[in-house]
Amino acid sequence: MCQQESNVEEIVLSLSRSANIAGHGRIDPFLSKPKSQQMTLKGMVKGTRNMLGRYVGKWFYDKGIPFDAANSPHFPSMVSAIQKAGPGVKPTMAYELSGSILDEEVEEVTKWIEEYK
């Protein structure tokens, strides 16, 4: 906790004590701590991860993709690439996957095979 937060808490506590001492009997709700719990970073990450899982799951279910596909070594790298691309990037279209992207992958695998011959 930084010094400013500590000072603010001390002021709030002294104000709430003075309100009680003055005979008001109730502490101003503004001065009391909220009853709801603040979302933690861990909770936000868990919620985001769950949301991502739901979207990926819908895609798997809709297209009948075997669940084991998530165990592919290429799955985490795909998710990372999507994260790095950021919002606003249009998804790859089917004709791209079956055309130029497939051609690039075939060329890469062919080179890889040639290296090991």
Residue 107 CA to residue 102 CA, distance in Å, equals: 9
Which residues, other chains included, contact 79 with Cβ-Cβ below 8 Å and sequence gap of 6+? 52
Whole-model pTM? 0.54
Percent share of the chain, pLDDT over 70: 66
What mean pLDDT do residues 7-28 have?
52
pLDDT digits (tens, 9 = 90+) for 48-93: 888 888 999 999 999 999 999 999 999 999 999 998 998 888 999 9
Percent share of the chain, pLDDT over 90: 45
Mean of pLDDT over the chain: 78
pLDDT at 20: 46
